Structure 1
Amino acid sequence: MSECRNAANYFVDRHVEEGRGAKVAFREADGKQRELTYGQLAAETACAAAAFGRAGIRREERVALLVLDQAEMPVLFWGALKAGVVPIPLNTLLAASVYDVILRDSRAAALFVSEALYPVVAPALEGNPFLREVVILSDAAPQGAITYDAFMDGADPISTVETSEDEIAFWLYSSGSTGQPKGVKHVHGSLCATADTYGAQVLQTSEDDVVYSVAKLFFAYGLGNAMTFPMAVGATTILFSGRPTPEAAAQIMDAHKPSVFCGVPTLYAAMVHYWEDGKPLPDTTLRACISAGEALPEEVGKKWQQRWGVDIMDGVGSTEMLHIFLSNKPGDVVYGTSGTAVPGYEVRLVDENDAEVADGDVGELLVRGPSAAEGYWNQRGKSRSTFEGHWTRTGDKYERTANGRYIYCGRTDDMFKVSGIWVSPFEIEQALVSYPAVLEAAVVAWHDEEGLEKPKAYVVLKDGHGAAELDDLKNYVKQKIGKWKYPRWVEVVEDLPKTATGKIQRFKLREGV
């Protein structure tokens, strides 16, 4: 395993020592379109570490980073680690009320915020008893805040503090797909662990790679894609602060020629549809594509492969495990499955009594591996029920095939029975999106007039299609996956409620939202 006493030494300073100081680490695709070499990153993070100390932010205190994917984000993240300060990247798409909860829960001593996000978070700052510093990434700062340049100005670089690989390095707040987000505490060693396992042995990143992740840096999947994995080998990351639409992704691919593309199922589906009308593909050479956040529909994966000639390696991870621990692999992709355990991890399926389930049966997925979180902040009960010794409960229901591959069935709270038989919402959703008119679908349990649970589908239609074309949809699903599984109700919606990480919030659909 890589040496990760203070992860900033391994991921930042080591590259200067090994002669990669002039190599571009980050390149912005929008905004000021800046570039940061590994040498510049090492110098600026050392100055940021000094600036934290000068501002009176002490070791082990928390700082919230409400920062878009721009050059300051890696400077602040790794600079905090160098100072022994604990950075908390925050979801950039939340409401002021949620920011208020997180800032008070974390007791962050400082908030760093991109200029475009300040109006949203400003109401949450009023009366906060913990914040001592608000730094805005702008040329001017409102009353009560300072600019990023003022925060950094005159700070002389300092040496990286010595830490243990088991010391808390950073927090991430869970995406909140089933309720309020929870603070997940990760140690320095977990960053190296994900780089040594998934990054090196599945994604197989190299110094020559250019990586573009539509998943943002504020959550675990994007943090690994755009920082941990490329920085472990001295590769280059493309940062894009804007909304990842198919058009934007196509422009970035054409202009920056990424070799590794990290997406989510929602965007892959939209991109497949975007190019269905014959638009030319971007002039780029992809060698690897990955997906996580939600299970990838089989139909989407196959269409992508047909058009690009590159498979999507779908996998599953979690904020609690920091990145993907179950995945398809190069040369071993079976669409409709989440593949097999990533080297370095073990998984098992258990029933309600924690007994192992047989192949073909549905069970809850448990995982054991080196990147498990230290626990939740101020959530002792949830920590004890999630982190059971070496094993972590994922809350996902899976089926294992006879040849050892894992098939996603749904979240534990999403599963339900029809006629006494377990039904996987994801299986029905896959059938629905294979229908020509359907772009996206979500399935939840709904009660019929007799109070029995049956599937209800919410569908988003492709451009140019109307609800009148869905007359045969129920029969289509019956023939494809079984008569008892078809949705008794189908409702057409403009879009599906999702977290910022692309996970469908089915609990909102169950409430009729």
Structure 2
Amino acid sequence: MPELSSADHASSPPRVSIPRHYNAAHDLIQRNLQAGRAQKVAYIDDQGSYTYGDLAERVNRFGNVLAGIGLEAENRVMLCLLDTIDFPTAFLGSIQAGIVPIAANTLLTTADYDFMLGDSRARALVVSEALWPAFAPIVAKHKTLRHVIVSGKDGKGHPCLSDLMKGVSAGFEPAPTTCDDFCFWLYSSGSTGTPKGTVHLHSHLIQTAELYGKPILGIREDDLVFSAAKLFFAYGLGNGLSFPLSVGATTILMGERPTPQAVFQRLRQHQPTIFYGVPTLYGALLASPDMLKREEVTRLRVCASAGEALPADIGRRWTETLGVEILDGIGSTEMLHIFLSNRSGEVRYGTTGKPVPGYAVRLIGEDGNPVAQGEIGELQINGPSAAAMYWNSREKSRHTFMGEWTRSGDKYIETAEGYFQYCGRSDDMLKVSGIYVSPFEVEGALMTHEAVLEAAVVAHADTDELIKPKAYVVLKAGIKPSDELAEALKLHVKEKLAPYKYPRWLEFVAELPKTATGKIQRFKLR
């Protein structure tokens, strides 16, 4: 089992020592059984609750299902599953068998899945019944795909997972994997092109739990956690799987989309102690007429946000309303989870906090050298959970994974107090009158206006072909767009920021284009 060691001085970050012979799934299951938690509830989904003993048995049975259909170590199995008990069952069951699960985004198109099945050469597909229509037209064309298993009551002509698991043994010997074996893949969101298969190792899940989940988030055995971010998402995978399993906490799973109504229902019904969301969701929750009152969520002690930088105004209003801080942080598919984060009691809204112990960060200028404090640079990360590579993408791998450092593609500045402030994606930055302007900063100023629900800012050329900011704004329900409001919003930004940063053009839209994980696709607006 991994051990956490730390040097006495701050310059030596904590290191998680993982034995050479190590299986990530076996560790996450066995540590709970050995701690006497077999009767404790591990998961609550929309159908019922499951103890750690139930989970262990399901994981073993799924390993036997894969062996029974002829899958072998290092084969790949694609999982396109809603957040139910079947996700941790199949994900951990594959890993324990030495088979590599590929957790697919459940919100993609048939064309995306077609690419991913071909690119990964997955031998098997486990898919939720509700998601089968997106796969039905394409599974026959992929000759490497030998088996389709359906999670649900109607197999659509294929075996049902529940039936297969009834007919196999509940005992299973874990595969003799090492800490450096390929463990699982996550496809990047594809916001700037074809999705990339990001390959993670057996050591990575527990690294993020030990370095962020326990010391920064403060997750404990007695916690009840609820992540609106889904398990297929790197952020959600830590939130709802590796973090709670690392300490023996209980996790609430929600199969449906995280609308404000669905989220409020779980928060009121289950009273979780930890809640994880994304900035867009926090904004939508605050804007809802059904927004929670402080006395309705008295057990809630910490909230987390990632996926995109949290606007300062949203963080402040959430804390004013509920008395609970949001720990805004940044992670990535490539780094698996959060490596830069705010801490409880030290939150600075409008920043992404400070490096998570165990991770180092640096800001690099266009000349390839570190920038001075207070100057904008590209964020690069050195940490133990960095992916091994992008599958089948040598050039992109070499561009992103540079020895011990991983490029994030995000622009940041470091404040005098050592907090890191998000400026935008490298390809979203604007240069106005020769000075960098962060679209996120302008968006944050717009968001402080009472009429604005969401905003996105992009570069736009004026009649002299000079670059200036242009804003796309989604108004709150019941507020009508007008020329007068547009001018008022421009003036509002001028009052908040340096005058050259205000949007010269402002367009009202019904919604902003986003990836399936909620990130604004500014390139589509450009």
Q: How high is the TM-score relative to the length of structure 1?
A: 0.97
Partner of 2:24: 7
- What is the total number of aligned residue pairs between the two structures? 506
Percentage of pairs with the same residue: 52
The one of 228, 231, 235 aligned to 2:245: 231
d(CA) in 1 for partners of 2:297 and 2:217?
22
Residue identity matched to 2:165: M
Residue 243 of structure 1 pairs with residue 260 of structure 2: no
Question: Residue 124 of structure 1: CA displacement?
Answer: 2.4
Q: 1:155: which partner in 2?
A: 168
438-447 or 10-19: which moved more? 10-19
Q: Is the 8 A contact 2:514 2:521 kept in 1?
A: yes
Hey, what does 1:55 align to over in structure 2? 69
Moved more, 193-202 or 3-12: 3-12
Q: In structure 2, what is the Cα distance between the partners aligned to 1:281 and 1:243?
A: 26
CA drift at 1:186: 0.3
Does structure 1 residue 384 correspond to structure 2 residue 384? no
Aligned to 1:172: 186
Cα offset, 1:276, TM superposition: 8.2
Which of 330, 342, 347 is residue 316 of structure 1 equivalent to?
A: 330
Structure 1: gaps of 5 or more residues: none
Distance in structure 2 (CA, Å) of the matches to 1:272 and 1:503: 19
Task: Please name the residue that 1:418 is paired with.
Answer: 432
**Conserved in 1, the CA contact under 8 Å of 2:24 and 2:203?**
yes
Distance in 2, matches of 1:489 and 1:134, equals 51
Conserved? CA contact 2:293–2:321, under 8 Å? no
Name whichever of 1-10 and 308-317 sits farther off: 1-10
Once the two structures are superposed, residues 373-399 of structure 1 have per-residue CA deviations (whole angstroms, 9 ceiling, x without a partner) of: 011100111111111111100000001
Alignment match of 1:66 (pick from 70, 80, 101): 80
Q: Which SS does the other structure have where 1:307 is aligned?
A: helix
Q: Is the Cα–Cα contact under 8 Å of residues 49 and 82 in structure 1 kept in the other structure?
A: yes
Indicate which of 504, 508, 517 corresponds to 1:488.
504
Aligned match of 2:14: none
1:195-274 alignment runs, 5 A limit: 195-274=209-288
Provide the rounded CA distance (Å) in 1 between the counterparts of 2:463 and 2:290: 41
Match of 1:327 among 325, 341, 350: 341
* Residue in 2 that maps onto 1:138: 152
Q: Which amino acid aligns with 1:20?
A: R
Letter of the 1:36 partner, please give it: Y
Offset of 1:298 from its aligned partner? 0.3
**1:439 partner letter:** L
- Shift of the 381–256 alpha-carbon distance from structure 1 to 2, 3 Å rule, reads same
Instruction: Return the offset for 1:150.
Output: 3.1
Residue identity matched to 1:267: L
Give the CA deviation at 1:130.
Answer: 1.3
Give the aligned partner of residue 92 of structure 1: 106
* Contact 1:250–1:282 under 8 Å retained in 2: no
Q: How does 1:284-363 map to 2 (within 5 A)?
A: 284-363=298-377
Answering whether residue 485 of structure 2 is matched by residue 472 of structure 1, we say: no
Deviation at 1:142, TM superposition (A): 2.2
Partner-residue secondary structure (3-state), 2:431? strand
1:45 aligned onto 2:59: yes
Residue deviations 1:401-432, cap 9 Å, x none? 11111000000000120111101000000001
Q: Distance in 2 between matches of 1:288 and 1:385?
A: 36
Give deviations 1:435-481, integer Å, cap 9, x for gaps.
11000000111111121111111111001111123331111111111
Return the alpha-carbon distance in structure 1 between the equivalents of residues 497 and 455 of structure 2.
15
SS, match of residue 123 in structure 1: coil
Distance 1:267 1:282 in 2: 19
**Contact 1:251–1:282, Cα closer than 8 Å, also in 2:** no
1:18 is aligned to: 35
- Quote how far apart the aligned CAs of 1:24 are: 0.7
Q: 1:111 aligns with which of 106, 125, 130?
A: 125
| SS, match of residue 471 in structure 1 | helix
* Cα root mean square deviation, aligned: 1.3
Partner of 2:428, secondary structure, is coil
Quick one: which amino acid aligns to residue 430 of structure 2?
Answer: F
Displacement after TM superposition at 1:61 (Å): 0.6
How much has 1:153 moved relative to structure 2?
A: 3.1
- Once the two structures are TM-superposed, the CA of residue 281 in structure 1 deviates from its matched residue by 6.1
Does structure 1 retain, via aligned residues, the 8 Å contact 2:43–2:252? yes
**Superimposed CA distance per residue, residues 60-79 of structure 1 (whole angstroms, 9 cap, x where no aligned partner):** 01100000000111000110
Q: CA deviation at 1:299?
A: 0.3
- 1:405 equivalent among 419, 435, 439: 419
2: CA distance, partners of 1:500 / 1:286: 27
Q: Counterparts of 1:239 and 1:172 in 2: how far apart (Å)?
A: 19
